[in-house]
Amino acid sequence: MIDIHAHYDDNAFDSDRYELLEELFTSKGVKAIINAGCNLESSLQSVKLAEKFDGVYAAVGYHPQEVDLFNEKDFETIKALLSHPKVIAIGEIGLDYHWVSDNKEQQKALFRKQLELAVETDMPVIIHERDCVADCLEIVLDYNVRGVFHAFSGSKETAKILLDRGWYISFPGTVTFKNAKHPVENAVFVPEDRILTETDSPYLTAHPFRGKRNDSGYMRYTIEKIAELRGISFEELERITEDNAKRLFRL
Ligand SMILES: [Zn+2]
């Protein structure tokens, strides 16, 4: 399994981070993990994890909720990290009006800046979008970039717009939740060459472990559920999502 989105630099893993990652790679069927940065500090932590574990890759960038931490000097450091061999994407970047909505203009400017960087460097992007689909689409569609909408919870109509423009769509454990509507619809709708899976660890743990700390091992419940919805085997969906991750991120 390849987990295209996780946060192993999170405090939730302070007590057992290295042991857990070791275990995931040696006995839980995890082949690769992309650890996403949210600001300079977590981007640097992601690179550190990627240097320590063969199977860990890093994405670097500013999450929209971290917009207040942005400064040009740190952004230069983020740019420099892009030439590191284990840094394979810019992320997670995007817009979030759920937690913070009084800084929309700053969020949009930062989002555009990072998309421009993706165009310049030909790096894929990992997009975070929450409660702002119209604004997010308006910006994203201005750029000729490739990438993935992580933890996608949008409608089928939004998925179609993105798919038509070459985007990938990634599903976390929410697709297994009892009240999942859009994720379940989209898990069937997204074509074979664009579907990805993730954990967003330590968050969004799949049923029946919802609420517990997440790790990449629990992604098997997400793959199992989507495979069942699509009427294919676990192994087949695992292969499909691995191939897609390798192609998009050039792993
Ligand atoms: Zn995330």
- Between the CA of 150 and the centroid of ligand 1 the distance, in Å, is 8
Please give the pLDDT value at position 187. Answer: 97
Nearest to 107 by CA among 62, 73, 44, 137: 62
Distance (Å) of CA 185 to CA 19, 134, 179, 189, 226: 36, 20, 12, 6, 10
Tell me which residue range forms the domain holding 230: 2-249
For residue 105, the CA-to-ligand 1 centroid distance in Å is 21
Per-residue pLDDT tens digits for 83-96: 999 999 999 999 99
Confidence at residue 101, expressed as pLDDT on a 0 to 100 scale: 80
Nearest CA to 183 out of 212, 149, 217 is that of 149
pTM of the model: 0.97
DSSP-derived letter for residue 201 is: B
Q: Both tokens of residue 86? A: 């284990």
From first to last of its 251 residues, what are the pLDDT tens digits of the chain? 999 999 999 999 999 999 999 999 999 999 999 999 999 999 999 999 999 999 999 999 999 999 999 999 999 999 999 999 999 999 999 999 998 789 999 999 999 999 999 999 999 999 999 999 999 999 999 999 999 999 999 999 999 999 999 999 999 999 999 999 999 999 999 999 999 999 999 999 999 999 999 999 999 999 999 999 999 999 999 999 999 999 999 99
Distance 7 CA to ligand 1 centre (A): 7
Please list all protein residues whose beta carbon sits less than 5 angstroms from ligand 1, which is an ion.
200
Q: How far is the CA of 200 from the centre of ligand 1 (A)?
A: 5
| DSSP conformational letter for 37 | P
Asked if omega into 183 is within 30° of 0 (cis), the reply is no
**How many angstroms does the Cα of residue 66 sit away from the middle of ligand 1?**
12
For residues 130 and 96, give the distance between their C-alpha atoms in angstroms, rounded to a whole number: 5
- In this structure, what CATH number is given to the domain that contains residue 52? 3.20.20.140
DSSP, res 172: -
Per residue in 208-237, pLDDT tens?
Answer: 999 999 999 999 999 999 999 999 999 999
Count up the domains in the chain and report the number. 1
- d(C-alpha 201, C-alpha 13), whole Å: 10
For ligand 1, the distance from its centroid to the CA atom of residue 90, given in whole angstroms, is 12
